[in-house]
Amino acid sequence: MSAKLLFDSLQNIGICGAKGNVYFELHNIKTIVRDNSIIGNVIQEWLKYFMNEHNITYRLPDNSQEFPDFYMDGHRNDINLLEVKCFTKSPNFDVANFVAYCRSIAFYPYRLNADYLIFEYAALKSDIMIKNIWLKKVWEICCPSERSALRIQWKQNQTFNIRPATWYAKNPSYKPFNSRLEFVTALKKVLDTHPVGGEWRNKWFQNICNLYKKQTGYDL
């Protein structure tokens, strides 16, 4: 199974325009939850039931905090990886922690091929509505910024989280990257100026190129 099958299934049921509610019930008191911070988790939980209902194969990581959100292959952990992201109004989610992501792909560069299923929703007065969905690769939702080769959230002048581009904008100030290689090159440019130690930093770019070829059979 693949993320494309899930994406197509969602489109086929007319997910865009669909409305829903989030409720919490305790001691016979039921209330609508309007906190946007939990919507992403709720949609991700709903997806599991949707895939069960439509006989779409998936597996969960042993730790819910681990990458990815879903394995879309019945057995292998190095193909058909799926991350789920949600936003309202404009993309403001974290793609990944910058340093953790750079360290991760130093050992598992096949993760660069993960799919990102992205939901845009609108918070209405009494419910939420799914406005749009996309299925993208990581380089298709990331871009440069005025400050650096990659759009990043900075805290106390240190890199923190990779932030998304507005990939659907007609005339964005900074366009998304065109390829996996272009994205990794941008990571390297920022990493070269970032004071983080560890053996994984040694020949980081070249090691990723070599290991990606070994793991996938393709050039980066």
User: What does the alpha-carbon distance between residue 218 and residue 131 come to, in Å, rounded to a whole number?
Assistant: 36
Give yes or no for residue 46 having a pLDDT over 80: yes
User: What does the alpha-carbon distance between residue 58 and residue 192 come to, in Å, rounded to a whole number?
Assistant: 37
Q: What is the pLDDT of residue 65?
A: 82
> Diameter of the chain by CA atoms?
60
Residues 6+ apart with CB under 8 A from 78: 108, 110, 215
HEC letters along 84-122: EEEECCCCCCCCEEHHHHHHHHHHCHHHHHCEEEEEEEE
Phi-psi sector, 89: left (phi>0), alpha (psi -120 to 50), beta: left
Query: According to the CATH classification, is domain 3-216 in 3.40.600?
Result: yes
Q: What is the pLDDT of residue 78?
A: 97
Q: What is the pTM of this model?
A: 0.94
At 131, is the pLDDT very low, low, confident or very high (cuts 50, 70, 90)?
very high
- Which one-letter amino acid corresponds to residue 97? N
User: What does the alpha-carbon distance between residue 15 and residue 118 come to, in Å, rounded to a whole number?
Assistant: 12
User: What does the alpha-carbon distance between residue 194 and residue 204 come to, in Å, rounded to a whole number?
Assistant: 13
Q: What is the mean pLDDT of the chain?
A: 94
Higher pLDDT, 185 or 35: 185
User: What does the alpha-carbon distance between residue 209 and residue 212 come to, in Å, rounded to a whole number?
Assistant: 5
Contact (CB, 8 A) for 115 and 3: yes
pLDDT digits (tens, 9 = 90+) for 157-199: 889 999 999 999 999 999 999 999 999 999 999 999 887 778 8
Q: For helices 39-53 and 3-12, what crossing angle results, to 10°?
A: 90
